[in-house]
Chain A
């Protein structure tokens, strides 16, 4: 007892329990401080590392804040036109059926301009993974209202809050694609706490494992913050997300297949 342990004795390679995966490049990510995109990138890359898929995976980057995902994900990637990532992923997977193929898309990309591609790829049951980051706003272009913006939520184009009577209802596209016969696994996760990150990682792992089954599309939504667009500090934004986003976009599995 009471032996003093020096930091040098703890900081040894054999005691290492966590370090950033080499499947993320060393570039500083272009995301705002505290943005869930960085955590979501890491979760996906950690899963690919653990499954040994670095050279067997092709990712499709979207348009939006994560347009530069290929700069940070240390795997083969292709960037798609706005909203067309599921169509590009369809082609890539059909040409390279042995590869693991996924898209990484925000809500403006996936649930607005790309709605048609999203729904038809899901309905066709393409054997790909879709990672969908939903922060309820167009982050990259300055915080405009998105289809996913909550009722009464303020954005730069709904400065008095989204009025459902004139601006329509927020789109729960994840529940929508769960109805389609082509989806195999549909889940909604988050990455704001250690527990949430660990659960999200299990979901992403299941989605990529599913691609071996050739039985349809796996769709993982990650509800995330946009602290710049929401005009809050990161921890306040995360709490706001828990209080406001989660009641409308509840976390958990929506459609699950047997392993």
Chain B
């Protein structure tokens, strides 16, 4: 990020506790407009929790989250969605008994203010859901449900998109395809934070990564540099997802 671009997201000393357990322990980082930022770290390091706080599902217990210069900590999700933040879920959460089309229609009707809404059919087409448009989401396989989560998010025209392990479970061809889509979205000006365990994928699409451990940032920079950092190597050492 050049010094004159303002970050779209600024996370400052963020704390989130569950009972006595500290899931985010003073996490700080920022994301620039149009940037693809990787958020990596071992299981339980707080990646999903960070996304949950930024997207308004949890109120922070300390620190600050600022979006486009304004503090958003504790603001309800549906408001943040209308302000331009959206996300997908690690385990996809579509509206199971509604059809794919209906799933997206809810977001088009409620999550989008002003401007021309995106076209439902174009979105379904682009994310390979057109053939199942009129099927209940429950009939979709898990990769399709993830795409539906993504399309629901995109239907609200976010400027900040948080992807929680979107690529997990996709085959290599699908990985290449979704990597291209993510790059294109970023090229259009969207900031995208990508949580992923697949290091090849992260390497391919991100400009920069934040490495989390136990709710704190232990590294910030290029992934290639991260994997040479002793502290990073240590937290991943023996881990199932070692780079």
Whether A and B are associated in the same complex: the answer reads: no
| Chain B residues at the A interface, C-beta cutoff of 8 Å | none
